[in-house]
Amino acid sequence: MSSASPGKAANGRFQVVCPILRESMVKKICILPGDGIGPEITAQAVRVLEALGLGLEMETALLGGAAVDATGDPYPEATRQLASQADAVLLGAVGGPKWDTLPREQRPERGLLGIRKHLNLFANLRPAVLYPELANASTLKPEIVSGLDILIVRELTGDIYFGQPRGIENRNGERFGFNTMHYTESEIRRIGRVAFEAARRRNRKVCSVDKMNVLETTQLWRDVMNELAPEYPDVTLSHMLVDNAAMQLVRAPRQFDVMVTGNMFGDILSDEASMLTGSIGMLPSASLDENGKGLYEPSHGSAPDIAGQDVANPLATILSAAMMLRYTFGMEDAACRVENAVKKVLAKGLRTGDIFEPGMTRVGTEQMGDAVLAVLG
């Protein structure tokens, strides 16, 4: 990976060392609130970005169900143009039961897959870090999860999610559903390099996850990872079948440093890893292209069950904004200001419902945003 090299900073936190985009020019962010809790949580992240006083230019557009309602298209042309022009995109989440019966091409998720593909965001980085204050929020015992610091590197633009042919047809008098899993060796090599580079700046361990005992595509995945390994003699490569990986993540998660896997397995494992940390509402993510441009979004979905109630946790989105400052804009200090503010708020005992425990102070979405703003150094 030449221009966006993920790593761990001297202070131990994960970062991507990338060229600061257009140093002297206005930095433009495309804001895509999306559906469900998306607008509520994105609003808090925007407030934080504004409060930093960095002169960031922000413009909002439609994606997902909101875009379907307004234009009939989950990824409309106006959004496509804005996303192309922007240096970075901040996304809430898309989807909800309202759109689940639409033809597949019009469903909100198509907007999400569309923007990922359009921006060529092939690498999804999801840190799963356990905040000490939330050790009890995990469903696992503190001794299993304390000190957890995993990075899941998920390939994002290939695999069965994009493979053709796909569909549901009538065959031999019954409905027949089918999808196609495929990867080219160059796609595997590209994401493998991201993982190896990331591991070099962490604990120098990559665990590649596949299902090579059943799926030929993932036999190729394993072969290419093995071919890459000699280029990184300082990194230890191991392999794990996805079913075992799912088990090991809850049995002994601290054995992992960097996990790298395909789109579908990564989708599932990164959600599982997120629960180790106590709440899906705490986990940011970055999806990067080869030049440091990125789409930043919380790891969770649009949570229609709690939408519009001012109870959603905005911290994953706020932390996603911090990742944006670091990875795309190279603003390490500003990113740290945001992350430290989140830590201070947790240390003060403020909790949204998803991470609430007795003795803490329950706050809503906007109150949590207020609290972060109040302690932003």
Regarding 304 and contact with ligand NAD (CB under 6 A), the answer is yes
**Secondary structure, 3-state, 70-104:** HHCCCCCHHHHHHHHHCCEEEEEECCCHHHCCCCH
Least Å distance between CB 93 and ligand NAD?
Answer: 4
Joined together, the tokens standing for residue 169 give: 């047809």
Among 354, 363, 368, 376, binds ligand NAD (CB under 6 A): 354
User: What gap in Å lies between CA 73 and CA 91, rounded to an integer?
Assistant: 17
Least Å distance between CB 175 and ligand NAD?
Answer: 22
Least Å distance between CB 64 and ligand NAD?
Answer: 7
User: What gap in Å lies between CA 199 and CA 147, rounded to an integer?
Assistant: 17
Question: Is 87 a known active-site residue?
Answer: no
Regarding 295 and contact with ligand NAD (CB under 6 A), the answer is no
Asked, as a colleague might, if the bond just before 165 is cis with ω within 30 of 0, I would say yes
Question: Is 161 a known active-site residue?
Answer: yes
Give the residue carrying structure tokens 């590197």: 153
For residues 193 and 1, the answer to whether their CB atoms sit within 8 Å is: yes
Within 10 A of 115 (CB to CB), how many other CB atoms are there?
24
Nearer to ligand NAD, 18 or 137 (CB): 137
User: What gap in Å lies between CA 316 and CA 368, rounded to an integer?
Assistant: 12
Among 306, 318, 345, 371, binds ligand NAD (CB under 6 A): 306
Regarding 303 and contact with ligand NAD (CB under 6 A), the answer is yes
Pick the stretch among 13-21, 193-201, 219-227, 298-306 that binds ligand NAD (CB under 6 A): 298-306
Q: Which of 6, 293, 20 is nearest to 153 (CA)?
A: 6
For residues 96 and 300, the answer to whether their CB atoms sit within 8 Å is: no
Regarding 281 and contact with ligand NAD (CB under 6 A), the answer is yes
Regarding 31 and contact with ligand NAD (CB under 6 A), the answer is no
- Residues pairing with 5 in the sheet: 17
Span 100-139, contacts to ligand NAD by CB under 6 A: 109, 112
Regarding 300 and contact with ligand NAD (CB under 6 A), the answer is yes
Pick the stretch among 14-22, 81-89, 136-144, 294-302 that binds ligand NAD (CB under 6 A): 294-302
Q: Which residues are designated catalytic?
A: 161, 211, 243, 267, 271
Kindly list the residues in this chain that would bind ligand NAD in the complex (CB under 6 A).
37, 41, 93-96, 109, 112, 280-281, 297, 300-306, 312-313, 316, 352, 354
